[in-house]
Amino acid sequence: MKRVAARLLMLALPAAVILASCKGGGGQSNTFKIGVVSSFTGPQAAFGQAHKNGYTLALADLNAKGGVLGKPIELVYYDDQGRPDQAVQGVAKLVDQDHVPVILGAYTSENTRAMIPAVTQREVPLLIPTSVADNLMQTGSPWVFRVCQGSGNYAHAILDFLKHNGDPKTIAIIYENTNFGQSNDTAMREAAQQAGLTVVDEEAYQASSPDYKALLARVKAKNPDAIYFGSYLLDASTLMRQSAEVGLDPRYYTAAGTGFSAAEFPTKDKGAGAYAEYTISVSQWLPTAKWKGSKEFDEAFLKLTGTHPAYHAMEAYVTLAIAVAAIEKAGGANPVAIRDALRALWLPETPFGPIRFDEHGQNDHATLVTQIQDGQYKVVWPPDAAEAKPIVPTPPWNKRQK
């Protein structure tokens, strides 16, 4: 064992020297570096790709306008592979080696939560584009800023919709057993009880399983009026397909965005196809949003990828724009100055709506309720933003047209 260790060391040392000598000259570079952590590989790669597309478009727009402080912007990507330990590694690498003064990321709430102590310790601001768990904003860290809404807002938006559209009495919550899922479960349980609904079942599940039929049978036995999912994309598809198989027929299929709001979800090739129909979810942004620049973003995204964007890509887009605005205001690469600039930032007009962070670092943003109708996301709530009438209650599986 000792000899093996010695050999490994002999191999590792020269490798480290070579790597260190390759890097060099970080301080004198001609670009302004900004760090990005997201899940470009692994089970969350679809969302990581959405992030990357959003960042790519933002980068092109911002550099076309001259970059920041007279330098072109360079994004340093770190792939966390969907794993929290890798996300923490990402912070270490981006701050200690690349010396970035601000980090954007990660994708999942689990990973973002893991990054918060790391950025707080290194005193570098973290801008969160997409992670919705409520506990991310409860750490008291002054270095954390979140662009998207939290799981509490999701629960309230769905409950408000339900109350005005048939007023169900019971709800079951099905959630992935990670920070993201647990946070949505807690948020919905508390909000539902306040709203006078009975939570008849709470089911945590292990992500990426091939078989959820037993879980769905449990929910079916409780016969809830409504179901609320906290799921990422791959599981969302499996859950809906198997719900049909099990014959689970609540009056409302609702969800905390994410998998149920991904652009791929209603498609047959990459999602649940027809099984996604009628599901109700939340969205923070749609290509049809009224904010200036939304349409342009949609067009540019379509040109880049051949598909329409979901809100995850927009959140990445606007997060980079926010970071650059703050750096511009801070006048340099000092993390403290950038943090203070973020705190005082007021961007009245972005394609994601007005941006302003409260004293906890949370951006105030509206939550829309959507329903999939004919394979398209349609805003159905609140009434002043609605583009279609909701179809409720959900038709049972055996009454649906194939």
Partner 1 sequence: MDFFTTLQAVVNGVLTGALYALVGMGMALIFGVMRIVNFAHGTFMMLGMYATYVLFVQAHVVPYYSFPLVALGMYGLGYLIYMALLRPIHGQSDFMQILLTLGIGLAITDAIQLVFGADYHQINFPLLEKNLHLGSHITVNAPWVVSFGIALVTGGGLYFFVMHTMSGRAARAIAQNRYAAPLMGIHLHRVQAFWFGLGVSAAAVAGSLLLPVFYLYPGVGDQFTLKAFVIVVLGGMESIVGAAMAGVLLGVVESLTSLYWGNEWALAVDFAIFLLVLSLRPSGIFGRQKA
Q: Which residues bind partner 1 (CB under 8 A)?
A: 4, 40-43, 45-46, 48-49, 81, 177, 203-206, 208-215, 217-218, 221, 234, 237-238, 244-247, 268-270, 273, 402
The residue among 220 and 339 lying less far from partner 1, judged by its C-beta, is 220
Please state, in angstroms and rounded to a whole number, the distance separating the CA atoms of residues 218 and 329: 54
CB of 5 to partner 1, least distance (A): 12
Closest CA to 92 of 23, 35, 33: 35
**306-318 residues labelled b (16+ CB within 10 A) or e (exposed):** eebbbbbbbbbbb
Q: Token match 């996300």: residue?
A: 87
Residue 30 DSSP symbol: S
Please state, in angstroms and rounded to a whole number, the distance separating the CA atoms of residues 230 and 223: 19
CB of 157 to partner 1, least distance (A): 26
CB of 3 to partner 1, least distance (A): 11
The DSSP code sequence of 70-113 is TB-EEEEEEE-TT-HHHHHHHHHIIIIIS--S-EE--SSHHHHH
CB of 312 to partner 1, least distance (A): 15
Is the distance from CB of 48 to CB of 37 less than 8 angstroms?
Answer: no
CA distances from 220 to 217, 225, 236, 253 (A): 5, 10, 17, 13
CB of 244 to partner 1, least distance (A): 8
The residue among 122 and 213 lying less far from partner 1, judged by its C-beta, is 213
The residue among 64 and 214 lying less far from partner 1, judged by its C-beta, is 214
The residue among 122 and 218 lying less far from partner 1, judged by its C-beta, is 218
Closest CA to 352 of 292, 276, 296: 292
Is the distance from CB of 367 to CB of 153 less than 8 angstroms?
Answer: yes
Is the distance from CB of 33 to CB of 100 less than 8 angstroms?
Answer: yes
CB of 224 to partner 1, least distance (A): 15
CB of 376 to partner 1, least distance (A): 19
The residue among 246 and 327 lying less far from partner 1, judged by its C-beta, is 246
Is the distance from CB of 119 to CB of 80 less than 8 angstroms?
Answer: no
CB of 397 to partner 1, least distance (A): 10
Q: What size, in residues, is the chain? A: 402
Residue type at 319 in one-letter notation: T
The residue among 89 and 237 lying less far from partner 1, judged by its C-beta, is 237
**Residue 140 — φ and ψ, nearest 5°?**
80, 5
The residue among 73 and 246 lying less far from partner 1, judged by its C-beta, is 246
The residue among 165 and 231 lying less far from partner 1, judged by its C-beta, is 231
